[in-house]
């Protein structure tokens, strides 16, 4: 993304104030269920093309290392977590931009003209992850290798990169067999005991080793250059259709662009705040492509993946859907995480709960943290507003099937309604009652209501109240 080529000279002056931060730990073992999701999913059947699975990815993956004054950092940093954290949390595609700092004899992560850390500080933890997770296949996409002037620069780069990573790199040709995006199978990588594909477009680098795969013939990654969710959706709709029958890896770039098409200069905008907007719709769009339209997302790339995107859960859900997985299968493969995965593709209908004032039951800040308040908000259709009343009376949220609407405290009149892990307690059970009411089974004389006096206001909290049948107690499934 050519972000800072469009910014004013004032921002250009500020780039001189950027600096690199200190060294990071290079160990990257262990992790939760997402750290081994490829092995979990494909251990029984690995003869599947990487082009035919959904893969979560990060845009400008190394920019977490940029530390600068606030205005520059806000418009240049696209990730907050390092590559070890990203990999352990399920990311498998890493978009990387590197500049050759010839004067200082080193290579650095960049975003446009903004400088981050030295390359080894950023990449070495990813090597440690690859070593400790041999069946997790990583794609390192050097979308930019800038200022490689001659063979000396290439040799310096290879002296670090190939020396460090070569034992894990999948060559584009081995024993007379050519490998590319069209034919590489998960089983091919596992049989080689190698788990990193490296894409590059710098001609001198490509010519130096068969460990580099040419970007031009192996990946399509169209940039939306969109500043609004509406323009991003138009781009995604057209591009995923266009690239359905191609054999190159296809990247759905889900990030918004500061000053991109459809946008205006807004001093309050940051890449983080823009990610909050676009990430909200990622699961809905991608699952709709997969399930409703029969289209097949491949690599799904985002900014700030941990903020509302569910890009890892969405990718896994797509892969499970393609394999016809059931709820039992999902529980078996991901016993601790199935609640966040299965609702994305399973045969459960989550719907909005809209009250008589036209507001929807929602989670404050769309957070699933135990004890977070449930309140009303203008209906926007995101998963935080989608609920399922199961046959036992548990009101489950689509963001995570294992999170339930819960009466706090003793269940007295006025008790708040919060989101908690579903634990099969009576304070989490509800039943439909009267004129579209939801009655608590914990305190059967009380109904799901909105605090009085603020019935039409966004953010008004949900609580228990005596049945009166008014608009704040009428909840319509939509």
**What gap in Å lies between CA 279 and CA 382, rounded to an integer?**
10
Tokens, residue 129: 């992850």
**What gap in Å lies between CA 280 and CA 51, rounded to an integer?**
25
pLDDT reported for residue 5: 26
> Is 75 domain-assigned?
yes
Clarify whether residues 434 and 308 are in a common domain: no
| pLDDT per position as a tens digit, 124-159 | 999 999 999 999 999 999 999 999 999 999 999 999
pLDDT reported for residue 1: 32
Rg of the chain over Cα atoms, rounded to whole angstroms, equals 24
Clarify whether residues 240 and 330 are in a common domain: yes
The domain boundary, picked from 317, 345, 373, lies at: 345
| pLDDT per position as a tens digit, 339-357 | 999 999 998 999 999 999 9
The domain total for the chain is 2
pLDDT reported for residue 383: 92
Residue 18 banded pLDDT, cuts 50, 70, 90: very low
The domain boundary, picked from 315, 345, 375, lies at: 345
At 293, phi and psi to the nearest 5?
-110, -5
| pLDDT per position as a tens digit, 241-295 | 999 989 999 999 999 997 755 554 455 578 999 999 999 899 999 999 999 999 9
**Is residue 252 within 8 Å of 298, Cβ to Cβ?**
yes
Strands (E), 201-339: 212-214, 219-220, 249-253, 299-302
Q: Is the dihedral of CA 14, 16, 21, 26 positive or negative?
A: positive
Q: CATH number for the domain including 379? A: 2.80.10.50
Query: What's the mean pLDDT in 436-452?
Result: 93
At 343, phi and psi to the nearest 5?
-60, -20
Q: In this model, does residue 15 exceed pLDDT 60?
A: no
pLDDT reported for residue 14: 33
pLDDT reported for residue 13: 30
Hey, how many other C-beta atoms are within 10 angstroms of the C-beta on 162? 17
> Is 11 domain-assigned?
no
Integer angstrom CA distances of residue 331 from 105, 336, 337, 340, 341: 50, 8, 8, 11, 10
**What gap in Å lies between CA 404 and CA 383, rounded to an integer?**
14
| pLDDT per position as a tens digit, 19-74 | 344 444 468 999 999 999 999 999 999 999 999 999 999 999 999 999 877 677 88
> Is 293 domain-assigned?
yes
Q: CATH number for the domain including 237? A: 3.20.20.190
Clarify whether residues 141 and 56 are in a common domain: yes
Clarify whether residues 296 and 205 are in a common domain: yes
| pLDDT per position as a tens digit, 151-193 | 999 999 999 999 999 999 999 998 889 999 999 999 999 999 9
pLDDT reported for residue 261: 52
Clarify whether residues 368 and 325 are in a common domain: no
> Is 21 domain-assigned?
no
Clarify whether residues 335 and 359 are in a common domain: no
**Is residue 250 within 8 Å of 220, Cβ to Cβ?**
yes
**What gap in Å lies between CA 405 and CA 103, rounded to an integer?**
59
**What gap in Å lies between CA 16 and CA 69, rounded to an integer?**
10
> Is 172 domain-assigned?
yes
**What gap in Å lies between CA 416 and CA 395, rounded to an integer?**
15
Tokens, residue 155: 């040799």
**Is residue 129 within 8 Å of 165, Cβ to Cβ?**
no
Clarify whether residues 368 and 295 are in a common domain: no
Query: What's the mean pLDDT in 90-115?
Result: 94
The burial class, CB within 10 Å (0-12 / 13-18 / 19+), for 49 is middle
3-state SS string for 195-224: CEEEEECCHHHHHHCCCEEEHHHHEECCCC
Q: In this model, does residue 219 exceed pLDDT 50?
A: yes
> Is 403 domain-assigned?
yes
Clarify whether residues 281 and 168 are in a common domain: yes
Clarify whether residues 307 and 454 are in a common domain: no
pLDDT reported for residue 26: 63
Clarify whether residues 63 and 161 are in a common domain: yes
**What gap in Å lies between CA 349 and CA 331, rounded to an integer?**
19
At 351, phi and psi to the nearest 5?
-135, 160
> Is 470 domain-assigned?
yes
The domain boundary, picked from 286, 318, 345, lies at: 345
Q: What is the residue-averaged pLDDT of the chain?
A: 91
Provide, rounded to the nearest whole percent, the portion of the chain with pLDDT above 90. 83
Residue 416 DSSP label: B
Clarify whether residues 375 and 318 are in a common domain: no
Which residue segment(s) compose the domain that 442 sits in?
A: 351-477
Query: What's the mean pLDDT in 220-224?
Result: 96
- Ordered DSSP codes for 344-403: GTSS---EEEEETTSEEEEEGGG---TTEEEEEEE----GGGEEEE-TTSBEEETTEEEE
Query: What's the mean pLDDT in 389-394?
Result: 95
> Is 8 domain-assigned?
no
Clarify whether residues 332 and 393 are in a common domain: no
Tokens, residue 390: 């199961």
Is pTM beyond 0.75 here? yes
């Amino acid at each position: 993304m050519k972000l800072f080529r469009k910014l004013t000279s004032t921002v250009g002056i500020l780039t001189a104030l950027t600096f690199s931060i200190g060294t990071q730990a290079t160990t990257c073992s262990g992790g939760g269920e997402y750290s081994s999701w490829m092995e979990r999913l494909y251990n029984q059947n690995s003869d599947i093309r990487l082009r035919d699975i959904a893969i979560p990815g990060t845009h400008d993956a190394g920019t977490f290392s940029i530390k600068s004054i606030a205005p520059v950092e806000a418009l240049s940093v696209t990730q907050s977590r390092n590559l070890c954290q990203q990999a352990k949390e399920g990311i498998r595609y890493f978009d990387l931009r590197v500049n050759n700092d010839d004067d200082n004899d080193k290579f650095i992560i960049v975003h446009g003209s903004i400088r981050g850390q030295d390359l080894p500080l950023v990449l070495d933890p990813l090597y440690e992850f690859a070593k400790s997770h041999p069946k997790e296949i990583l794609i390192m996409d050097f979308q930019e290798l800038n200022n490689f002037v001659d063979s000396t620069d290439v040799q310096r780069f290879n002296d670090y990169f190939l020396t460090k990573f070569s034992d894990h790199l999948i060559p584009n040709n081995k024993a007379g067999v050519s490998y590319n995006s069209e034919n590489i199978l998960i089983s091919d990588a596992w049989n080689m005991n190698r788990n990193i594909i490296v894409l590059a477009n710098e001609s001198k680098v490509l010519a130096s080793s068969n460990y580099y795969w040419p970007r031009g013939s192996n990946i399509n990654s169209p940039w939306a250059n969109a500043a609004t969710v509406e323009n991003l959706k138009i781009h995604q709709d057209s591009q995923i259709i266009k690239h359905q029958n191609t054999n190159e890896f296809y990247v759905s770039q889900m990030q918004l662009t500061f000053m991109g098409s459809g946008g205006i200069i807004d001093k309050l905008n940051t890449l983080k705040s823009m990610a909050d907007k676009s990430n909200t719709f990622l699961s809905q769009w991608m699952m709709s492509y997969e399930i409703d339209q029969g289209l097949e997302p491949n690599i799904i790339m985002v900014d700030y993946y941990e903020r509302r995107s569910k890009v890892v859960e969405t990718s896994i859900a797509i892969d499970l859907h393609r394999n016809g997985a059931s709820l039992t299968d999902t529980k078996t493969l991901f016993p601790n995480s199935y609640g966040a995965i299965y609702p994305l593709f399973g045969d459960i209908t989550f719907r909005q709960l809209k009250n008589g004032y036209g507001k929807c039951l929602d989670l404050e800040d769309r957070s699933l943290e135990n004890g977070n308040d449930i309140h009303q908000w203008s209906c926007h259709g995101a998963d935080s507003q989608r609920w399922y009343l199961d046959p036992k009376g548990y009101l489950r949220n689509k963001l995570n099937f294992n999170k339930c609407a819960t009466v706090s405290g003793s269940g007295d009149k006025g008790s708040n309604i919060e989101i908690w892990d579903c634990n099969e307690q009576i304070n989490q059970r509800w039943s439909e009652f009267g004129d579209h009411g939801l009655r608590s089974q914990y305190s059967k004389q009380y109904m799901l209501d909105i605090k009085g006096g603020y019935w039409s206001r966004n953010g008004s909290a949900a609580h228990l109240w005596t049945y009166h049948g008014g608009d704040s107690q009428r909840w319509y499934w939509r």
